[in-house]
Amino acid sequence: MKKTLDDYMSDPDLADEPQALREVHAIRLMIQDETKGMTAAEHTAYYHEKAMAAFTRLGITPKYISPYSEEKP
């Protein structure tokens, strides 16, 4: 069963933290569990996918040049 953010928020180790800090720590723990055992390439792909989803949700089109492209700025 996959843990939800609420499961992480109710962690007894985080009980004494202020609400905002508890949420930050819970998100960090959730991401740590989701990426456990990933290779560096898988880690990069995970964060890239999350960033692109956030850009799409916010209506942002990233404008950058890939370091792997032949195009120069």
Rounded Cα gap, residues 19 and 22, in angstroms: 5
pLDDT tens by residue, 2-45:
888 888 888 888 889 899 999 999 999 999 999 999 999 999 88
Which pTM value belongs to this model?
A: 0.66
Rounded Cα gap, residues 30 and 32, in angstroms: 5
For residue 45 the two structure tokens come to 């792909």
